[in-house]
């Protein structure tokens, strides 16, 4: 499956970032998570463009179609990806914008929002990591046992393992399997993808990045903030949504039925509508 949202490559700190901007109007930036890419927004972004917004996407450093640096010293953690976001914003010449984030993209968004709330017009957090909600007990055990065996696993075994892992992220498994599943797998498999998954993604599943700002989340209450969650999210259960909702004053919370962790795959129409409700209300209030 081709990712039509990616239309440009940008050098950020000497590394290539794949991105794209679509439409015209107020800017909306979409941040993906793990093990994912901007592909996850392919059914959400067009609806925002049709509604009159300019949508900006990019693949995080070490993810999707962006560069997978070989140098072991390159930091692709949640905190380091905030700097990548800032450089992409500079490239797009965006000072203030609406931010929408999923999974670890939500960890990036929380950090950016706490330190730069004046730059956000609104914030939408979809099935995001927070506090010490990650990694899962299973992934934590694998990390403690060492990632070397997983990095060197035969391609067929690797793909079989992560095919089941990815299927656990959606409610409609048949639709996902017949659609983008193999593309998601391709990004994290093969000679480059498999090692990169563990080097640039899994080894950075460290809750320190969200715990550091957990006691400052109330700052986000200055903004229009909404939380969108899949009722069947097994990766980041809805309990975390309730905790964030309580921590962020005046935030809105929507729980979507028939929806897993990859909510933009299961419920793209509902998510686009919820994003539009928030950004349009904000636009009306400030016009």
Q: Give 281's pLDDT tier (boundaries 50, 70, 90).
A: confident
62 within domain boundaries: yes
Structure-token pair, residue 287: 């016009």
Confidence of residue 72 (pLDDT cuts 50, 70, 90): confident
pLDDT (0 to 100) of residue 284: 54
Average pLDDT over residues 21-39: 97
Determine contact, residues 29/56, Cβ cutoff 8 Å.
yes
Please report, for residues 22, 108, 164, 195, the alpha-carbon distance to residue 231 in angstroms, rounded to integers and kept in the order given.
31, 23, 20, 32
Q: Per-residue pLDDT for 206 more than 60?
A: yes
User: Could you tell me the two tokens for 194?
Assistant: 């498999």
Instruction: Tell me if 192 is assigned to some domain.
Output: no
In a 13 Å sphere around the CA of 200, the CA atoms on its Cβ side amount to 28
Please name the helix (run of DSSP H) or strand (run of DSSP E) that holds residue 154, with its range, or none. none
Strand ranges for the chain from DSSP E: 8-12, 15-22, 26-31, 53-58, 97-103, 120-128, 225-230, 252-256
In a domain, 148, yes or no: no
Judged against a pLDDT cut of 90, whether residue 165 lies above it is answered with: yes
Report the CATH number that the domain containing residue 89 is assigned in CATH.
3.40.50.1820
Residue 121 lies in a domain: yes
Q: Is 88 inside any structural domain?
A: yes
Alpha helices in 51-154 (DSSP H): 78-92, 104-115, 137-145, 148-151
Per the domain annotation, does 117 fall within a domain?
yes
Split into its structural domains, the chain has a count of 1
Quick: pLDDT tens for 127-163: 999 999 998 877 888 788 788 888 899 999 999 999 9
140 domain-assigned? no
Range of the domain at 77: 8-134+208-281
For the whole model, what pTM was predicted? 0.96
């Amino acid at each position: 499956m081709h990712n039509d949202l990616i239309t440009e490559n940008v050098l950020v700190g000497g590394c290539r970032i794949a991105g794209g901007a679509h439409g015209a109007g107020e800017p909306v930036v979409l941040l993906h998570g793990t093990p994912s890419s901007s592909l996850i927004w392919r059914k959400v972004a067009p609806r925002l463009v049709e509604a009159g917004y300019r949508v900006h996407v990019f693949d995080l450093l070490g993810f999707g179609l962006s560069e997978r640096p070989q140098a072991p010293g390159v930091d692709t953690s949640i905190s380091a990806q905030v700097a990548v976001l800032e450089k992409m914003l500079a490239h797009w010449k965006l000072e203030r914008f609406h931010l929408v984030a999923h999974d670890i993209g939500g960890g990036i968004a929380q950090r950016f929002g706490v330190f730069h709330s004046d730059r956000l017009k609104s914030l939408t957090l979809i099935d995001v990591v927070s506090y010490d909600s990650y990694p899962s007990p299973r992934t934590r055990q694998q990390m403690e046992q060492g990632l070397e065996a997983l990095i060197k696993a035969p391609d067929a075994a690797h793909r079989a393992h992560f095919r089941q892992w990815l299927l656990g992220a959606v409610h409609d498994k048949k639709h996902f399997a017949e659609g983008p599943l193999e593309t998601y797998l391709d990004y994290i498999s093969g000679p480059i993808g498999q090692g990169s998954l563990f080097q640039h993604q899994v080894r950075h599943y460290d809750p320190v990045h969200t715990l550091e700002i957990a006691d400052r989340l109330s700052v986000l209450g200055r903004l229009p903030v909404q939380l969108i969650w899949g009722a069947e999210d097994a990766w980041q259960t809805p309990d975390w949504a309730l905790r964030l909702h309580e921590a962020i004053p005046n935030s809105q919370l929507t729980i979507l039925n028939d929806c897993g962790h990859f909510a933009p795959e299961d419920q793209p129409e509902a998510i686009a509508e919820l994003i539009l409700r928030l950004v349009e209300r904000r636009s009306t209030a400030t016009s």
